[in-house]
Amino acid sequence: MKKLLLLWMVSLLLLVMGCKDKEEEVSPEVPVLATLSGASEVPANPSTATGRAEGTYNNDTNELKLTITYQGITPTAWHIHKAAAGTNGGVLFDFGNTFTTPFNYSTVLTEEQEADLKAGMYYVNIHSATYRGGEIRGQLSVEE
């Protein structure tokens, strides 16, 4: 009888342990997105050009990966700037002078840069001959 009771208790224990929710593995990569337009420039402009920056930020490796696409613009320069929405700031990361769409970019951020990215302090800006200060812009947002 004791053996039967012990067997029943062990079976019940195994059943309960098997029913526990397995912890979901959380990916260290989070989506990053920006929609670029003339309306987001400071000051805003009437350009009909559009663009998009989308990718991921890896919380473990601090790597930011972006794919930038655009249409309706002939770029003369493009960068990631640091400033809050509605304000202008200096260039942090230059994408170079090869203007292709789509364009893939990656960089590793410092802890301070990671904090700025997550605080919404970075924007992608594409400049043109018509709008030297920037024709289309989009604030990078991290979806955590």
Helix H or strand E encompassing 66: strand 63-71
What pLDDT is stored for residue 25 in this prediction?
A: 75
Q: What is the pLDDT of residues 37-55, one digit of tens each?
A: 999 999 999 999 999 999 9
What pLDDT is stored for residue 17 in this prediction?
A: 53
Q: The tokens 């990631």 sit on which residue?
A: 80
What pLDDT is stored for residue 144 in this prediction?
A: 77
Q: What is the pLDDT of residues 133-144, one digit of tens each?
A: 999 999 999 987
Beta partners for residue 79, in sequence order: 94, 125
Q: Residues of the chain whose pLDDT is less than 50?
A: 4-8, 10
Beta strands in the chain (DSSP E): 29-37, 50-58, 63-71, 75-82, 91-94, 103-108, 122-128, 136-139, 141-142
- All domains of the chain, ordered by start, with CATH? 29-142 (2.60.40.200)
Tokens at residue 84, please? Answer: 């809050």
Q: How far apart are CA 104 and CA 93, in angstroms?
A: 13
Helix H or strand E encompassing 21: none
The SS3 of residue 77 is strand
Q: What is the pLDDT of residues 120-129, one digit of tens each?
A: 999 999 999 9
Q: How far apart are CA 83 and CA 81, in angstroms?
A: 6
